[in-house]
Amino acid sequence: MELNKKNLITIVLTFTLIFIFLIYLVEEKKNEKINSIINNLYVEKKDLFLSERQMIFSEAELIKDLIFDKKIISMIEDYIQNPGEKTRDDLIIAIFPKYLVLKKYKISQFHLMLPNGVSIIRFNDVNKFGDLVLAMAKAAEYIKIKKEPFSGFILTNEGLKFVNIFPLYKEGIHLANIEIAFNYRDFLMHVFNRHYIAFLIDKKLLPNAKMPVCKLNENFLVDGDVCKYFNKVHVRINFDKKINILGNYLVFSYPIYSFDKKIGYFIKIIPISSIKEIKDISLSYTNSVMLIAIIYFIIILFLILYYRFVVIKRFANIDKLTQIYNRRGCERFLKSYKDYSIILIDIDYFKQINDTYGHDIGDKILQELGKILKSSVRANDIVCRWGGEEFLIILPHTSYENATEVAEKIRKKVEETKIFGNIQITISLGVSQFDGSFEKTFKDADEKLYIAKKTGRNKVIF
């Protein structure tokens, strides 16, 4: 295929489409790997969260078993049977030293209640008791029905709490409930960096709470300091979507349930730049794109340079005025032909034409003659401007007789053609057949052309 401008554009467009497709494939592969890493990270954080929660429950259960031995349970039974200041003080004196030790382990609440949720002893405020703790009443009802401890989140007027509530039994009788609660922020620090966590609570559930509204979704109150990372963000996040990408941050959201009702979300913010696997994949992607781009530009540069080489080479063999082969281009074909005839052509009285109409018209006549000659021969025949007003036609695998017929056809066509409406020209032609040497063949045709011009012009000599 000849490399011309149209073909070059087609090839460049093809390689460009291939380049775009390869970039798309690399991008898709990168996104697939990154999404896999993000999903695995989401599950990993969720598993860690659940594991830590179970560990906290186990620690609370161990504390309950260590503190509430048979003696303490008997004292609780005495208080229930004989409620009074003395029996309550005896309980406080027996348990309070143990509570002081437990505070070192970041217990946020240690609370003894009746099975219906009425407070017996708040160890962080021993003077407040006898009231019904509404948040605990629901947990008490859960324990009564399920016959098992309650571990989970509850909503209070102060906000969100994570509690572990254990029933205390004696001989199958449900005497009381004990709340052992840890600061959920503290236990989450075992899993997460606290500066990147927050709890979102449905605003409708705490209409009077003095908590800020989440900047990422105004339907939620926020407990945590993650909003500072999004001060300039004006995007509303749907937290039902487990994973959101916000600028350079991943926003993981895990639903929070209280007594089987969704009350909000725990969110974990992770800077994407801190995830080594994603950084490695992004670097690998960048390197792949650069490599593809380099190969693409090398190919395009090669095509352009090759096209320029072909064009320059072609122009070196083409006559600038007539756009047919020049002598150099013509001679290039002669080396490959061993059986051909030639027609040597000269415009009659061309000097007079130039003198009469001017050299510009003379140039136009040369151009028109070149077109006539090209249209009068076969596609594989070679037409060239040999020099000045002289033209040469090479007819491969053409007999002397056939070449003469072609020459006569051309002579008649030129004679019958009016150039620019009123200018008529004629040509003289000499025909010769290859006899082993182009120089001899050309000399023979040149001598015949000379005879044609000397004997009246506008004729074919063969």
Round to whole Å and give the CA distance between 200 and 224.
Answer: 8
Per-residue DSSP letters for 399-415? Answer: -HHHHHHHHHHHHHHHH
Structure pTM? 0.59
For residue 245, the SS3 value is strand
| Continuous segment of H or E residues that includes residue 261 | strand 261-271
- CA separation (Å) from 99 to 53, 107, 164? 22, 9, 16
* Residue 190: band (very low, low, confident or very high) from pLDDT cuts 50, 70, 90: low
**Would the pLDDT of 372 be above 90?**
yes
| CA–CA distance, 59 with 290 (Å, rounded to integer) | 54
Question: Would you state the structure tokens that stand for residue 334, as one six-digit string?
Answer: 């002669």
C-alpha dihedral sign at 58, 68, 120, 74: positive
pLDDT in tens, 56-92: 888 888 888 888 888 999 999 998 888 888 889 988 8
Q: Band of the pLDDT at 226, cuts 50, 70, 90?
A: low
Phi, psi of 236 (to 5 degrees): -95, 120
Q: Give me the pLDDT at residue 443, please.
A: 94
Identity (one letter) of the amino acid at 107? I
Give the CA radius of gyration of the chain: 50
Tell me what pLDDT residue 402 has: 94
The answer to whether the CB of 135 falls within 8 A of the CB of 118 is no
197 token code pair: 């966590």
Angstrom distance (rounded) from CA 229 to CA 167: 42
Q: Give the whole-angstrom CA distance, residue 299 versus residue 286.
A: 20
Calpha distance 440→432 (Å, rounded): 9
pLDDT at position 457, please? 94
Q: What DSSP designation does 192 have?
A: S
pLDDT score for 303: 83
**CA–CA separation, 462 and 449 (whole Å):** 9
Mean pLDDT is lowest, of 212-226, 372-386, 424-438, for 212-226
SS3 108: strand
| Nearest CA among 381, 273, 387, 288 for reference residue 337 | 381
User: What is the rounded CA–CA span in Å between residue 459 and residue 343?
Assistant: 12
Asked whether the beta carbons of 59 and 106 are under 8 A apart, the reply is: no
Q: Is the pLDDT of residue 143 over 80?
A: yes
Strands 249-258 and 243-246: antiparallel
How many residues are listed for the chain in this entry? Answer: 462
Residue where the block lists tokens 């032909």:
337
φ, ψ of residue 238 to 5 degrees: the values are: -95, 110
3-state secondary structure of 362: helix
| Pairing mode, strands 340-347 and 243-246 | unpaired
Backbone angles phi, psi at 115, to 5 degrees: -60, -25
Quickly state the pLDDT bin for 183 (edges 50, 70, 90). Answer: low
pLDDT tens digit sequence for 253-291: 889 888 888 988 888 888 888 888 888 888 888 888 898
